[in-house]
Amino acid sequence: MSEIKKVTIDPTKLMIVGLACGLVGAYLGAIRSEVAGLLAGILAVPVIVWGADTVRRIASYGLGTGVPSIGNLSSSMGLLAALVGLAYQPVIGVILAAVAGVVYGAFVARFKILEIPRLPRYTTELAMAASLALMCLASCVIGYYNPIPESGFLAPTSNFENIFKALFVTGFVAAIFWITSVAMLHPFNAGLGVGERQGRTLKIAVVTGGMALTLAGIARIGYLTIFGASTQLYIAYATLAAGVVVWAGGLVAFLRTAIREAASAVWTGIPPKKK
Amino acid sequence: MIGLDVMIIILIMIAVGGVLICAGVFFMPVGGAPAAMSTATGIATGCEMMAAGAGITGLLMSAALYGQPSYIVILNAGISSAIMMCITMLVANFIVIFGKGVPPALATVEKDPVTKENVKPFVTPGTVGHGVPTASYVSGFIGAFLGGIGGALTFIPILRVALSISQGQTLNVNVLLGAFTVNAGHQHVPLFVLAGICALSMYFINANIAAYSIRGVIEGWWDPKFKRLPKTAITCFVASLVFGMLALLLLNSEAFITVLKMVRGG
């Protein structure tokens, strides 16, 4: 059992930023422009960073089953809540994710299946982060998600028709499901160890968030091409480019940090340096 | 749209499925990373991935047999998962016995619970068993069978409700449990995707509870960790009910029913 380490960013602040970014991303489609989809995809990156930080906190206690199980758990909880959220209203999905996460964590802690202090809070954060990330990425793939109805409270049903076409007819839902899972589990899975530090781990989360955004861009291109709407591809290419930029930027930042904090960085000799 | 009796049956099916998935994980000989180095009994991967393998095999089988009566779908899903797991264990044993030259052995008991052979002397000092001995093999067979049944029990209600609404049929208990006379065309494939991804999510949620309860390595039903099963099963039951309600909310939503009517239109 590891002690509580000193953290660079306070987890509560990260949670507030993640919640705000995710909700803004989910509700941005109210402006009814495809730019909203691109921005929602970019806003999914802070949500993924929040999720990765939660995975870091919960998995640093040692689970006995490996870190990937936590990532799959979070995206499984998030997917069901996100689908409900996209069918009704995103905020309902987030609230249901929180309720389901509290119940899950409370029962797992009550029967001493996983003895981790404050487990309900962690599972709640996992479910909320995954559902928000999935909703943002889904609205990025379908173009934009318009949650404002003409009357009443529930989101217009045309949104769900788009989601059905973009995610289920093409099968991209599996890709989005797994990339959310991997984006959240990979940072701590790759960074864990004695010298693990929150700032460095979260830089890997930016890298995996960029990968998720890239995949959402590819899915957007695929969806538009399959349904013969290839004239509107420029925003899809912009999503892809934004994803690659976030990915490469995160990677450069992470490499710099890793080289600075390593004991030493030496040349292995392969490939040989040319003189 | 969905009647109360049908909803209760769906919830019960999903919750019982969750409990079976949990029991299935407990029966499987999970070896984890130590088994890959032949320093522990079992299959060389974590609980979760093994459960996912068994579950997905069961889901594929139940998707292929969607029109049959429920008990045939459920039994076949269990059998296909069990076949998959048995082949995995057989090949793992071939590698361990003929490749590494290690005899399969159990560390927690003196005698093999199935064949009554002396297995303890074969354990290398410093390790907790190797390979998949006969008792672990039988235990793994039972576990994969239960896991496949659990996967099919979560898959069937979601798929059948979606398919029957999209065909404009009235929903009753017979649709969920009896034979299903719907000819699915290419326009229905997305419903299989939806049911599959929802069932996979339920599978991960339940398999994870069992995996945390086991914490790494388990040999079979004689292992001391097996005593945790009742508490874990109650947790899985509650978690499945909660997430089953989320699935029901999705199936009941106006947006989803509109989409299903769109599917009927082609």
What single DSSP character describes residue B101? -
Contact A100 B246 (CB under 8 A): yes
The answer to whether residue A244 is domain-embedded is yes
A190 burial via Cβ count (<10 Å: 0-12, 13-18, 19+): middle
Chain B partners of A171 at a C-beta cutoff of 8 Å? 193
Chain A partners of B60 at a C-beta cutoff of 8 Å? none
The answer to whether residue A272 is domain-embedded is no
d(CA B165, CA A59) in angstroms, rounded, equals 42
Q: Name which of B200, B209, B250 is nearest A113 (Cβ-Cβ).
A: B209
Tell me which residue of A204, A202, A96, A78 sits closest to A137, measured CA to CA.
A78
The answer to whether residue A275 is domain-embedded is no
Contact B243 A100 (CB under 8 A): yes
SS3 at position B18: helix
Q: Where are the domains of chain B?
A: 4-261
pTM of the model: 0.91
- Mean residue pLDDT across chain A: 89
CA distances from B250 to A146, A174, A214, B144, B234 (A): 18, 18, 28, 29, 25
Domain count for chain A, please give it: 1
Q: Does the structure show a pLDDT above 70 at A234? A: yes
Closest-CA distance, B116 to chain A, in angstroms, reads: 31
For chains A and B, count residue pairs whose Cβ atoms are closer than 8 Å: 140
The answer to whether residue A274 is domain-embedded is no
Task: Return the pLDDT at B266.
Answer: 62
Chain A partners of B216 at a C-beta cutoff of 8 Å? 64-65
Sign of the alpha-carbon torsion through B15, B17, B21, B26 = positive
Average pLDDT (A186-203) is 88
The answer to whether residue A41 is domain-embedded is yes
ipTM: 0.89
Contact B242 A103 (CB under 8 A): yes
Q: Containing domain of residue A141, as a range? A: 11-261
Over residues A94-105, the pLDDT tens digits come to 999 999 999 999
Closest-CA distance, B80 to chain A, in angstroms, reads: 23
Task: Return the pLDDT at B238.
Answer: 92
A251: number of Cβ within 10 Å: 16
Q: Which of A7-21, A156-170, A248-262, B172-186 has the lowest mean pLDDT?
A: B172-186
